[in-house]
Chain A
Amino acid sequence: MNRQGSENYRFFTSKTWILLGLAVFGAIVALYRLAVGLGPATNLSDSTPWGLWIAFDVTTGVALAAGGFTVTFAAYVANWDKFKPIARAATLTAFLGYLLVVFGVFLDIGKPFSIWHPIFFWQPGSVMFEIVICITLYTLVLFLEFLPWLLERLNVLTGVRDFLEKRSVLFTLVILGIMLSYGHQSSLGGLFLITPAKLHPLWYTQFIHHLFFLSAVCVGLSMVSCETIVSANMRNREHETGILDGLARGTAIALLVYFLARMADLAIKGNITAMFEGSPQSGLFLLEMGVGVVLPMLLLASKSIRSSIPALLTSHGMVIFGVVLNRFNVVFLTESNMGAAAYFPSWQEFAITVGLVSAGLFLYKLIVTQLPIFTTAAEQKH
Chain B
Amino acid sequence: MSKGVLVDTTRCIGCRSCQIACKAWHDLDARYKPSNGTYTSPQKLSADCYTLIEFFEKKTGDQPSWKFVKDQCLHCQDPACASACPVGALKKTSQGPVVYDQWLCIGCRYCMLACPFQIPKYEWDTTDPWVQKCNFCASRVESGMEPACVKACPMDVMYFDDYAKVAQEAERRIANFPGKYVNHIYGYREAGGTSWMYIADRPFRELGFNTDVSDKPYPAMTWKPSLSKILWEEAGLLAVLGGILYLRNRRNHEEGQK
Q: Which A positions have Cβ atoms within 8 angstroms of B?
A: 34-40, 44-46, 49-50, 73, 76-79, 108-112, 114-115, 117-118, 121-132, 167, 171, 175, 178-179, 182-183, 186-187, 190-191, 193-198, 206-207, 209, 334-335, 338-339
Question: Chain A residues near B47 (CB, 8 Å)?
Answer: 46
Q: Given A79-B248, A175-B238, do A191 and B127 touch, yes or no (CB 8 Å)?
A: no
Whether B118 sits at the interface, judged by CB under 8 Å, is: yes
Q: Given A38-B124, A123-B85, A207-B225, do A334 and B104 touch, yes or no (CB 8 Å)?
A: no
Q: Given A111-B128, A190-B222, A197-B213, do A175 and B241 touch, yes or no (CB 8 Å)?
A: yes
8 A Cβ contacts from B212-240 to A: 212-214, 218-219, 221-223, 225-227, 230, 233-234, 237-238
CB B60 to nearest CB in A, in angstroms, measures 28
State in angstroms the CA–CA spacing of A358 and B249 once bound together.
Answer: 38
> Interface 1/0s, chain B 63-88, versus A by CB < 8 A?
00000000000000000100111111
State in angstroms the CA–CA spacing of A39 and B125 once bound together.
Answer: 5
| Cβ-closest chain B residue relative to A181 | B237
Contact of A125 among B113, B118, B227, B248 (CB under 8 A): B227
How many residues on B have C-beta within 8 angstroms of the other chain's C-beta atoms? 58
The answer to whether B241 and A38 have CB atoms under 8 Å apart is no
A-B complex: 4 closest residue pairs judged by Cβ atoms: A110-B107, A39-B124, A39-B125, A129-B86
State in angstroms the CA–CA spacing of A195 and B81 once bound together.
Answer: 11
Question: Chain A residues near B253 (CB, 8 Å)?
Answer: 167
| Cβ-closest chain A residue relative to B124 | A39
The answer to whether A49 and B104 have CB atoms under 8 Å apart is no
8 A Cβ contacts from B1-59 to A: 44-47
State in angstroms the CA–CA spacing of A36 and B222 once bound together.
Answer: 34
State in angstroms the CA–CA spacing of A207 and B226 once bound together.
Answer: 8
Whether B153 sits at the interface, judged by CB under 8 Å, is: no
State in angstroms the CA–CA spacing of A108 and B213 once bound together.
Answer: 29
| Cβ-closest chain B residue relative to A116 | B106
Contact of B110 among A115, A128, A175, A179 (CB under 8 A): A128
The answer to whether A179 and B113 have CB atoms under 8 Å apart is no
State in angstroms the CA–CA spacing of A335 and B244 once bound together.
Answer: 42
Q: Given A37-B129, A111-B129, A127-B226, do A197 and B116 touch, yes or no (CB 8 Å)?
A: yes
The answer to whether B122 and A130 have CB atoms under 8 Å apart is no
Question: Chain A residues near B245 (CB, 8 Å)?
Answer: 76-77, 79, 171, 175
The answer to whether A209 and B106 have CB atoms under 8 Å apart is no
State in angstroms the CA–CA spacing of A338 and B116 once bound together.
Answer: 9
The answer to whether B83 and A126 have CB atoms under 8 Å apart is yes
CB A330 to nearest CB in B, in angstroms, measures 11
CB B22 to nearest CB in A, in angstroms, measures 18
Contact of A182 among B85, B112, B233 (CB under 8 A): B233
- What are 9 A-B pairs at a CB distance below 8 A? A40-B125, A110-B109, A114-B107, A117-B104, A121-B87, A178-B241, A183-B230, A198-B113, A338-B112
Question: Chain A residues near B223 (CB, 8 Å)?
Answer: 125
| Cβ-closest chain A residue relative to B108 | A109
Question: Chain A residues near B233 (CB, 8 Å)?
Answer: 182
Contact of B242 among A167, A175, A209 (CB under 8 A): A175
